Structure 1
Amino acid sequence: MNSVVPTDGARRRTGWHRLPVSAVQYLTRDAVAVTLDVAAPLRDTFAHRPGEHVVVRHHRAGEELRRSYSVCPPPEDPGALRLVIKKGAPDGFGAYALTRLAQGDRLELSAPTGAFTLPERPGAHHVLIAGGSGITPLAAMAAGALRTDPTCRVLLVHSVPTAADALLADELALLKDAFVDRFTVLHVLTREGRPPLGGRIGAAGLPRLLAALDTRPGPDTTFALCGPAGLVATVRQALTDAGADPALVRSELFALGDDPPTPPAAGTPPTPPVAGPPPVPGAPRTPEGTRVTALYDGHRRVVTAGPRDPALLDALLRDHPDVPYACREGICGSCRAKVLTGEVATGPQYALDAGQLAAGYTLTCRARPLGAEVTVDFDA
């Protein structure tokens, strides 16, 4: 399968596609790798960059579940559309995938999307720090960087409770064999050993861990972090304290957990209004109803957002259930849209960086309208 990603204008990030399952591989007691078969007409649609994710839409007993999963191809087939799915709630999609999903079944997926990618810096030293399931996008990033930049180096640190919990350990060992001089992988076991090579990765232990691995922040060192909120926030702050350039530290969460980071792990605090063209002078800041125009999948939809709607997404979903979203917690970025006209206030979110916010993007699950009319474009 061709893994070259077309330009942004050549594919849409909205819409749904039913793809057959070509393989199911059990990785650990609570995780499974699912490979999807992509027919030739959809290969451009499902071409992907390392770090991108898809949304899976699943129906059960009249209820719709949406979950986002990073695309994590195996080392021997970097263009494959493979998802690593971990069991969560007993009645969630992960449990279904682990116990019932089989070859020949079909899953409903969105096209790959996301901005969690490594910067293009030839010869860089990429330091990737994962917690638990956060390994899935970082494993893809490591393989992609090593294959496309023969001058780069990659260090991958994976924090897991025990060795038995280390997803993709065998595949990472094969990657190490293929790039023995440029790739280092280390598993930090939180329930075994002592810091810096064991125990939880904390603010005090991280500098010692990096020093032991001969790694320090610098202009040629990039960082990518993925895992639970507490880990990502701790590591980000420790790197900032050690002198890392915030522009070279990228992150993604897979769950907020019980202790959301402050500021958000994407490096952006609760944000000021995001605007398209300036709103009409005198437009009401707390309107009784806002006319919302949404562009997605090549169509134009119009709804009215009322004062009781928590966010734009809630108003849209009443009449248009196909509007893109997944987590509804400001984490995955699946409901990202660009504000073309009007103005919105974006609450706490963890998916958009300062550059995307400055360019006019918002998360509709966290955006409230501030005027009489707002237009957002999910296809942008």
Structure 2
Amino acid sequence: MSTAPLTHDAPQHPGQDGRTRAGVRPTGWFRLTVARLERLAEDTVAITLDVPADLAGTFAHRPGQHVVVRHRTPGGELRRSYSLCPPPGDPAALRVVVKRNSPDGFGAYALTTLVEGDLLELSPPAGTFGLPAVRGGHHVLIAGGCGITPLAPMAAAALREDPGCRVSLVHAARTAHDALLADELALLKDEFVDRFTVLHVLSRERRESELCSGRIDAPKLLRLLELLDARPGPGTRFALCGPYGLVETVRDTLTGWGAPADAVRFELFSAAGTPASAEPATPPDRQGRHSRITAVLGGRTSVVTMRPEDRVALDAVLRHRPETPYSCRDGVCGSCRAKVVSGAVTLGSQYALDARDLDAGYTLACRARPRTDDLTLDFDA
């Protein structure tokens, strides 16, 4: 099986042994073999990929990162972003959890057609979502539905790497059957019985405890956090992942309770429910002017020009560099993150970059329009 990148222009930075230059983000597409399929629920499957030794460095990952799966169909190409979710006993495994959300998407294909031994096209791991390095702290993780997939490995890593920390996890799901990874979390609880707490809150199933039944609103959330002794403080950090409504409820509640913004990290698993927003507008002084974009990707530099039909910078870059990383195009997954090296952009609504990223000069190519005649974007940064 060939493991060469499946790009029109092969990335230059991965070495032949799979290692990458320090500070350079690996890009490109790679065919990996499906090693194992595990049905987690009627509409959800876990897919474990085999990573050849020569790609071990390229596909090394941290808890909270994601990959993009490229799925080719007769009607075109689908790209879907999935959090990496290795089982607690094998943190280096390359595993994703895929749910069927439509009758014709990649989830449907994975559940009905994909078999062990098939090949999937994946991008290397990317993303900055993760727990901060707070030794001996209390990590409070709140997940909704499939939002458990990045948080479960983050919990396992924190517990194993920091013997002085505590981890509390609240998982909101519809029913016990929908509480993904519950068995794996139970095993993790058995291993760290004094430092790990898991609460499942079921919205469509009555439980013995009223607190763990029904939807999580602000009053219920405060009661849950008090039960977990998870008040905002110097050693408490929060990580959230789920649908927009739940994440915003938790963020607003934590802010009102006194949690500083830098103590709360979050990730959305889709753009569903986010406020409707217009594309980033072309500044008045840019009307009729076509910016030149210099894109650094895979150690190579390409120069492209924005055309009138280009909505955002990504459209222009993709014409010349089709291997450019992206997935959702809604400013949610962060796959198209790039650093503005020179020039300036107008950034539309997005949910993947926090204040630290923006201050460091990062943008999302799928939500950015140039504000200057010349713009340099570094996708490797």
Specify the SS of the correspondent of 1:50.
coil
1:277 aligned partner: none
1:183 aligned partner: 196
Residues 19-51 of structure 1 show CA distances to partners (whole Å, capped at 9, x for unaligned) of 111000000001000000011111111111100
Specify the SS of the correspondent of 2:286.
coil
Q: How does 1:169-318 map to 2 (within 5 A)?
A: 169-193=182-206, 196-260=211-275, 285-318=286-319
Aligned AA for 2:270?
A
Change (3 A) 1:76 1:167: same
Q: How does 1:71-150 map to 2 (within 5 A)?
A: 71-150=84-163
1:59 aligned partner: 72
Change (3 A) 1:122 1:271: farther
**Identity rate of aligned residues, in percent?**
61
Q: CA deviation at 1:233?
A: 0.6
Residues 1:23 and 2:36 are matched in the alignment? yes
1:151 aligned partner: 164
1:375 aligned partner: 376
Mapped to 2, the partners of 1:27 and 1:147 lie a distance apart of 25
Q: CA deviation at 1:217?
A: 1.2
Q: CA deviation at 1:126?
A: 0.3
Q: CA deviation at 1:292?
A: 0.9
Residues 224-248 of structure 1 show CA distances to partners (whole Å, capped at 9, x for unaligned) of 0000011101100001101112101
Aligned AA for 2:292?
R
Mapped to 1, the partners of 2:253 and 2:39 lie a distance apart of 35
**Are the counterparts in 2 of residues 284 and 371 from structure 1 also a CA contact under 8 Å?**
no
1:267 aligned partner: none
Aligned AA for 1:34?
I
Higher deviation after alignment, 288-297 or 331-340: 288-297
Aligned AA for 1:216?
R
Mapped to 2, the partners of 1:115 and 1:8 lie a distance apart of 18
2:340 aligned partner: 339
Mapped to 2, the partners of 1:154 and 1:261 lie a distance apart of 35
1:266 aligned partner: none
Q: CA deviation at 1:206?
A: 0.8
Aligned AA for 1:305?
M
TM-score normalised according to structure 2 size: 0.90
Aligned AA for 1:241?
G
Aligned AA for 1:242?
W
Residues 153-192 of structure 1 show CA distances to partners (whole Å, capped at 9, x for unaligned) of 0001000010010100000000000111100011000113
Residues 1:353 and 2:379 are matched in the alignment? no
Residues 85-127 of structure 1 show CA distances to partners (whole Å, capped at 9, x for unaligned) of 1111110001101111111111111111101010000001000
Mapped to 2, the partners of 1:294 and 1:315 lie a distance apart of 10
Higher deviation after alignment, 283-292 or 139-148: 283-292
**Are the counterparts in 2 of residues 233 and 261 from structure 1 also a CA contact under 8 Å?**
no
For structure 1, the residue ranges without an aligned partner over 5 or more in a row are 263-269, 274-282
Aligned AA for 2:214?
G
**Are the counterparts in 2 of residues 289 and 306 from structure 1 also a CA contact under 8 Å?**
yes
2:14 aligned partner: none
Mapped to 2, the partners of 1:8 and 1:185 lie a distance apart of 39
Specify the SS of the correspondent of 1:67.
strand
RMSD, aligned CA: 2.2
For structure 2, the residue ranges without an aligned partner over 5 or more in a row are 1-17
Mapped to 2, the partners of 1:223 and 1:60 lie a distance apart of 39
Q: CA deviation at 1:210?
A: 1.0
Q: CA deviation at 1:12?
A: 2.9
